[in-house]
Amino acid sequence: MSGQLQVASDDGAERCTFCPRDAAGPCASCRRPVCGDCCTLTEGGVKTWAICLDCDRKKGSSLAGPWAGFGMFLVLILVVLAGAVALLAWLGG
């Protein structure tokens, strides 16, 4: 992953990954520096996490991904079961 466009310059001030402003802190997920405007604050128990826009988007799509795969898996099992039942009925009859 080469998403970092700007490496921290030698003056020590890190830039936000998404805009030219100074970064407020690192993303809790990917550790890229983000400013206050380019991150989403997520309440995670006692701590508040700053998640960058990229990770926030990925998290949203990754929630749908596994569930869609799980649904396909269930459908596949049902098809296989139906095929097995049909086969047994054909063999028995």
User: What is the contact surface with Zn ion in residues (CB under 5 A)?
Assistant: 16, 18-19, 21, 27, 29-30, 35, 38, 52, 55
Give me the least distance between CB of 1 and Zn ion, in Å please: 11
Closer by beta carbon to Zn ion, 14 or else 18: 18
Contacts 24+ apart (CB under 8 A), 61-64: none
CB 62 within 8 A of CB 44: no
- Supply 47's token pair: 């701590």
Helix residue spans in the chain (DSSP H):
53-92
Give me the least distance between CB of 36 and Zn ion, in Å please: 8
Give me the least distance between CB of 80 and Zn ion, in Å please: 39
